[in-house]
Amino acid sequence: MNPFMKISQVMRLAYKKHILIPAFNVAYLPMLKPISDALSECNTIGIIEVSRPDIMNFGAKSIEAVAAEYEKFANEKFCFLHLDHVPVIDENFTDVDWEQWIKNGIELGYDSVMIDGSRLSFEENIRITATVVEMAHRNGVCVEAELGSVLGHENKKLPPYEEIFEKKIGFTQPEEAKIFVEKTNVDWLSVSVGSIHGAISGAAKNQKKICARIDIKHLAEINQKTSIPLVLHGGSGIQVDCIKEAIKNGITKINIGTEIRQAYEQVMESDQKIAEKMVKKAVMGIIDSYQIYNSADVLLT
């Protein structure tokens, strides 16, 4: 757990001031140090995170390994450690021992955890999220949950993007979001408002992501009804202007996975050092595009 600052406070302040906290997925262990280095050099507050798919499908190995790497290399004056996507039912529709994953994350000192009950019924999602919130809050750990479904992890063909957007397939319903937040006491909510996850399996994981966008009106309605920091998954590949508008409307944390993973993978086999530099460069590019240099000055006062 971060000894310098509390993630709950930093996220609340960022939400209030419309400052983005970028969250970077560690798909391979050596990606962690360059992410942290980039944040320190830019004086930017960010989150370093690992998801179950990063471990199962790529090279993040285990949540223990990521916590150890974090302990070794992260500069906690600028970052937090988050356990991303612990699904109750995974992308292949098998049951996951979510309780064990969450317990481990809490014991290992993660600052926050995400329970993903998005493949459950609304009631079941509420029930399990509330259980996790209780477990986590007892230990001073924050919880992110997901309502609606951000598509893309599943190993099946998606409908055409325009159809997803027009018909709002998987979109979070504002009224449900309100009830969900009230009943679970969750800290932040991952919402589905047009973004999609990068593919994590098959040939598609190496392809360029679809250029997604965000339904700002829909997002604004959710924000108005929930008043807690909102999270955008599948942040890679969305136009910067669109994201800036989303930040004004409640999005506080954006998960960035595909973009930095692919930067690393392109050269990881031929030159490890250059691969790490590519990650740092990509992270700095993201900090630059959202103009969040020196966010630490504002968020740590």
* Residues whose CB falls within 8 Å of the CB of residue 22, separated by 6 or more in sequence, listed in order: 44, 46, 47, 235, 253, 254, 256, 283, 286, 287, 290, 292
Binds Zn ion by CB under 5 A, chosen from 233, 253, 261, 280: 233
Please report whether residue 82 would count as binding Zn ion according to CB under 5 A. no
Taking residue 299's Cβ as centre, other Cβ atoms within 10 Å add up to 19
Which residue's beta carbon is nearest to the bound Zn ion?
233
- Closer residue to Zn ion (CB): 33 or 233: 233
- Closer residue to Zn ion (CB): 82 or 233: 233
Strand-pair category, 79-87 with 142-147? unpaired
Torsion sign across C-alpha atoms 187, 192, 193, 195: positive
Mapped onto helix, strand or coil, the DSSP state of residue 86 is strand
- Least gap, CB of 233 to Zn ion (angstroms): 3
- Least gap, CB of 197 to Zn ion (angstroms): 5
Stretch that binds Zn ion, among 102-110, 134-142, 218-226, 227-235 (CB under 5 A): 227-235
- Closer residue to Zn ion (CB): 79 or 150: 150
Residue type (1 letter), 179: I
Torsion sign across C-alpha atoms 169, 172, 176, 180: positive
- Least gap, CB of 51 to Zn ion (angstroms): 7
Axis-axis angle for helices 122-137, 98-107 (nearest 10): 20
- Closer residue to Zn ion (CB): 52 or 233: 233
- Closer residue to Zn ion (CB): 13 or 283: 283
- Least gap, CB of 290 to Zn ion (angstroms): 18
Active-site position among 84, 111, 116, 187: 84
- Least gap, CB of 163 to Zn ion (angstroms): 21
Measured between alpha carbons, how far is 24 from 296 in angstroms, rounded to an integer?
A: 17
DSSP E strand stretches across the chain: 21-25, 46-51, 79-87, 112-116, 142-147, 188-191, 230-232, 251-256
- Least gap, CB of 40 to Zn ion (angstroms): 25
What x/- string results for residues 7 through 46 when contact with Zn ion is judged by CB under 5 A? ----------------------------------------
- Closer residue to Zn ion (CB): 191 or 283: 191
Residue 38 structure tokens: 């980039």
Stretch that binds Zn ion, among 54-62, 175-183, 230-238, 270-278 (CB under 5 A): 230-238
Residue 267 structure tokens: 């050269």
Stretch that binds Zn ion, among 198-206, 211-219, 228-236, 260-268 (CB under 5 A): 228-236
Measured between alpha carbons, how far is 150 from 157 in angstroms, rounded to an integer?
A: 14
Stretch that binds Zn ion, among 23-31, 63-71, 124-132, 226-234 (CB under 5 A): 226-234
Is-catalytic flag, 84? Answer: yes
Measured between alpha carbons, how far is 116 from 100 in angstroms, rounded to an integer?
A: 14
Catalytic site positions: 84
Q: Which residues form the interface with Zn ion (CB under 5 A)?
A: 233
